[in-house]
Structure 1
Amino acid sequence: MKHLNILMVDDHPIIIEGYQNVLMATKDEDQTLLIDTANDCDMAQIMITRAAKTTPYDVCFFDISLPGSEDGRYASGEDLAMLAKKLLPEAKIIILTMFNETFRIHNIIKEINPDGFLIKSDLTSMELADAFQQILKSPPYYSSTVNNYVKKTITSEIYVDDINRKILHLLSQGIKTRSLLEYIPLSMSAIEKRKKQLKILFSVYDGKDETLLHEAKEKGFL
């Protein structure tokens, strides 16, 4: 009998319920699935940290758009995936997201290199079941939209690292630039430099933060 400890993180309980039902209905006979769920970054962070000290998860499912943590350290499923990779090195990481923008897909593959990457609009119950079993045996598994982007030899010019994503997220929450120091371990000049780089990356010519946030949102980074 194979016991699999699973974490599912999505801010829509009905979606998690759907995933659970599919996996329970299609699991192999010798598999026992023990599924924990979380709806936001704070709860997921607690569960990942606890699992690392007790019983590690075998598989973690992360939605990308999630309510950020109270302390601003975790702004999305990407941040949680990076934490899981660090604390649970044996766990299979599966990203599920509505984002199907080329830049975002390249960014996730480059930064997280997940064992599974599924675009929700591609997903059927059958594909989720097949993906789960394939990821257990021989990852990675990418859904059709991701595969199509990967096959196109477009190397994204936009690569936004962890700190830059946090800057974008905090600015979008209405945090002023001078207050970013409270959340990001960099000097003010380093933060300003990164903001300038982001504006160049996203072709923001008017210098405004509002335009930067608009462009980042258009390209699926917020």
Structure 2
Amino acid sequence: MNHINILMVDDHPIIIEGYQNVLIATKQDDQTLHIDTANNCDEAVTMIEQASKKYPYDVCFFDISLPGSEDGKYTSGEDLALLAKKLMPRSKIVILTMFNESFRIHNIIKEISPDGFLIKSDLTSMELADGFKQILKSPPYYSSTVSNYMKKTISSDIYLDDINRKILHLLSQGIKTKSLNEYIDISTSAIEKRKKQLKVLFFC
């Protein structure tokens, strides 16, 4: 019997219940699933730390937008994913999120390199079931929005240098364009030019 330990983290219990029902209903006959759930960063950190000492999770599902930890150390599913990768390096990391902006997708792939990346608006029960099977056997599995972004990036002639990456990161943190030159040592006009190039890459 193939026993699979799973952690699901989402701040909406009904969404977690839906994921659980799909995986249990579509699991293979030789699989048993043990699923732990958490609704915020504090609960998830405790579960990850405990599991890493004895029975590490085989698969971790993280929503990106979560209530942060009380100490302010963990503010999102991205932070939890990085912790899981550090403490349980063999665990498969799956990101599920409503965010579908290209720069957010780019940052998540660059920082986390998840084994699965699913945009909730793409998700159906069948896709979750198929994605779970592929993530276990031959990751990565990306839903259609992420896959289209990856194809566009690979086929693009625009080179993503360190400055462009920093612009994307700052924009994803909510920094306004007019304030970017406080963080990057180039002129506002140069930043505007680079933003136009990035729009060609990400939004056309």
Residues 195 and 35 of structure 1, relative CA distance in 2, 3 Å threshold: farther
TM-score, normalised relative to structure 2? 0.79
Contact between 2:103 and 2:168, CA under 8 Å: does it hold in 1? no
Equivalent position amino acid for 1:106 in 2 = H
Q: Would you say 1:196 and 2:182 are equivalent positions? A: yes
Q: Aligned to 2:49, what secondary structure does the other structure show?
A: helix
Long gaps (5+) in structure 2: 192-204
Per-residue displacement from partner, 1:93-122 (whole Å, max 9, x unpaired)?
000000000000010000100000000000
Query: How many pairs are equivalent?
Result: 178
Which residue in 1 is equivalent to 2:77? 77
TM-score, normalised relative to structure 1? 0.73
Q: Aligned to 2:8, what secondary structure does the other structure show?
A: strand
Residues 54 and 199 of structure 1, relative CA distance in 2, 3 Å threshold: farther
CA drift of 1:158 comes to 3.7
CA drift of 1:160 comes to 7.6
Equivalent position amino acid for 1:53 in 2 = K
Long gaps (5+) in structure 1: 172-193, 206-222
Q: Aligned to 1:61, what secondary structure does the other structure show?
A: strand
Equivalent position amino acid for 2:60 in 1 = C
Q: Aligned to 1:78, what secondary structure does the other structure show?
A: helix
Which residue in 2 is equivalent to 1:62? 62
Residues 133 and 15 of structure 1, relative CA distance in 2, 3 Å threshold: same
Q: Would you say 1:129 and 2:129 are equivalent positions? A: yes
Which residue in 2 is equivalent to 1:183? none
Q: Distance in 2 between matches of 1:108 and 1:72?
A: 20
Cα-Cα RMSD: 2.8
Contact between 1:107 and 1:159, CA under 8 Å: does it hold in 2? no
Contact between 1:103 and 1:158, CA under 8 Å: does it hold in 2? no
Q: Would you say 1:33 and 2:19 are equivalent positions? A: no
CA drift of 1:196 comes to 2.6
Residues 128 and 18 of structure 1, relative CA distance in 2, 3 Å threshold: same
Contact between 1:2 and 1:30, CA under 8 Å: does it hold in 2? yes
Per-residue displacement from partner, 1:136-176 (whole Å, max 9, x unpaired)?
000000000000001002566344899x79xx59x9xxxxx
Equivalent position amino acid for 1:148 in 2 = N
1:28-177 aligned within 5 A: 28-153=28-153, 157-159=164-166
Q: Distance in 2 between matches of 1:57 and 1:161?
A: 32
Q: Distance in 1 between matches of 2:167 and 2:62?
A: 19
Identity of aligned residues (%): 72
CA drift of 1:54 comes to 1.6
Q: Distance in 2 between matches of 1:25 and 1:107?
A: 33
Q: Distance in 2 between matches of 1:199 and 1:146?
A: 31
Residues 123 and 71 of structure 1, relative CA distance in 2, 3 Å threshold: same
Residues 147 and 199 of structure 1, relative CA distance in 2, 3 Å threshold: farther
